[in-house]
Amino acid sequence: MNTDSAAHRGAGRAPHPSAAARPTTGGTVRRTLLRTALTGAAALGAGLGAARPATAAAPTRDTRPRPGTPAEALRELAAGNRRWRAFRERHPHEDPALRRTLATGQHPFAVVLGCIDSRVPPELVFDQGLGDLMTVRTAGEVLDEAVLGSVAYGVLELAIPLVVVLGHQSCGAVRAAVEAEESGTKLPAHMQYLVDQIGPAIDHGKEGDARIDATVSANVRLVRSRLAAEPELAARIGTGKLAIVGARYELTTQAVHRLA
């Protein structure tokens, strides 16, 4: 992934459950966590240049250490997105032995809060496998108590060092929010909740498609700031054990870049 200001390269890889489990953190999560229902359970990459297509590699199982810091996790996601863009996916951590090991526990290295859009599956765009990512997906990355509790579970109970809020180009939920505000139309059923949550991020300094595109980025920043303001998460950010970053996936280039 690229930052808005600079790009940094890196790579890192995780073992998986075959490595020693990371210690979990204690403390009470303010948001109610239904643990029994959750059993088992600065920079991103380089370049937006197009890569030459190549045949995807067979699934692999790496033996390098699992990313244990925010910087290591960012580098691993960046490396995976570079493989995705170059059509050199490894599809790691899918082998039978690993699947059996995962039955006894999980040690993901990042939480990705992304949109429900079918074109943006985090495990694919970051070329990660089973047990690597804890993904939470809602239309427009909208937060509610269940989403907050899910993110907190990953960070506080599984000691995950990185949370990525991942928006994307041409987000339908953002478009719906912008168009609903402009027309004064109320959306049916629970979709109005999504519009109300995205509404504060609408960029009124632009018009048309430019407004929608700018609002995609503004919404990511808004969600990221809300997460970072959660006391338990903010405490881990303050000690360097956690980073919460915002990023965008561009459908036209398949690149993920970080939003400042």
Q: Which residues are annotated as a binding site?
A: 115, 117, 168, 171
DSSP 157: I
The beta strands (E) that lie in the chain are given as 110-114, 133-137, 162-168, 243-249, 256-259
In contact, 225 and 236? CB cutoff 8 Å: no
CA-to-CA dists, residue 39 to 104, 106, 129, 145, 158, angstroms = 10, 10, 19, 19, 12
Return the closest-CA partner of residue 243 out of 82, 109, 116.
109
Rounded to whole angstroms, the Cα distance separating 48 from 85 reads 9
Contacts of 92 (CB under 8 A, 6+ apart): 13, 59, 60, 61, 62, 127, 128, 129, 132
Which pair of tokens denotes residue 12?
Answer: 């890192």
Q: Can you say which residues are annotated as belonging to the binding site for Zn(2+)?
A: 115, 117, 168, 171
What is the separation, in whole angstroms, between the first and last Cα of the chain? 12
